[in-house]
Amino acid sequence: MSDQQGAAGTGETEEFAHVSVMVSEVLEYLAPKSGGRYLDGTLGLGGHSSAIFEAAGGDISLLGIDRDSLALDTAQKRLAPWGDRASFFQGSYSRFEEFMDELGWDTLDGALLDLGVSSIQLDDADRGFSFLHDGPLDMRMGASEGDAPAHRLVNKLSHAELKAIIHRLGEEPMAGRIARAIIEARSKEPIENTARLADIVEQAYPAKWRATARRHPATRTFQALRMAVNRELEELAYFLEHITERLAPGGRVVVISFHSLEDRAVKHTFRDEAKGCNCPRNVPVCRCGRVPRLKVLTKKPLTPSEEEVARNSRARSAKLRAAERLVEAA
């Protein structure tokens, strides 16, 4: 599931006119093999999973997870040709171990995350993800999971809390001004829709900044609120902490991220798992006993080709990292 998924696709029917990001790179680093078990933790419309099935000649088992019921229904139709080789669960990918246990799976031969918000969510005004379409200020990827909608955060959080979210998750230099503008506006009337919030944020920007901005001033604020509503960094942190132990020897994990904080979390986790020992630097001999569990396959993050970005501008900020589970010494 990715906010970088676009329009037309190779080998896709009109019903699924949708391109998943960096498909060839995913297949290269995931290296799906016949008889393997694979996790697609952000199933979306099933583009990556369909490609994984095709690359392995259909002879794999797939666990597909998505928070969004509409995306899940669409993916199930798309992957119907592979019958019961594909199993589907609605929920966050951080619950992958629970779903594996339901299937009786101990380990995985590969795991994929494509982070962000899908095009069908961005383009549906009623979901409240986009400032380009007026709609209720919601932003929940899965309404059944109990997450508070964005309008509740916007209308209830203190100035300090709003500023912290917008600054940290949106990396927004105007976070303080925007938070003050939100507090002032909601004192007159609750902020319930996307168009009003976008206008409040835009007007909080200095006029000179608005005139020279390359993108809409509300971009970072909407991103920050979406990530807060769906606890995206927390979900990723849990996944990264637990995925290595559920990979079979030689199993691979591939993560596509679109945010510097997400990419940093993946980079640091892969690096630490590849290093093993986490003793302080001033300790001459390892005392922790940790051994390397991963081999990093991408020294630097891969990015989409110029051709892919030309076809799908939403792909431009994608970064892919991959790692492989090592065989532990007896």
Residue list for the binding site for S-adenosyl-L-methionine: 46-48, 66, 93, 114, 121
3-state SS assignment for residue 32:
coil
Helices 260-275 and 232-243 pack at an angle, to 10 degrees, of: 20
Q: Is 39 exposed, middle or buried (0-12, 13-18, 19+ CB in 10 A)?
A: buried
Helix (H) or strand (E) segment spanning residue 180:
helix 175-188
Residue 66 forms beta bridges with which residues? 90
3-state SS assignment for residue 144:
helix
The DSSP 8-state label assigned to residue 327 in this structure reads: P
Numbered residues of the known binding site: 46-48, 66, 93, 114, 121
3-state SS assignment for residue 258:
coil
CA neighbor of 228 nearest in space, from 318, 133, 137: 137
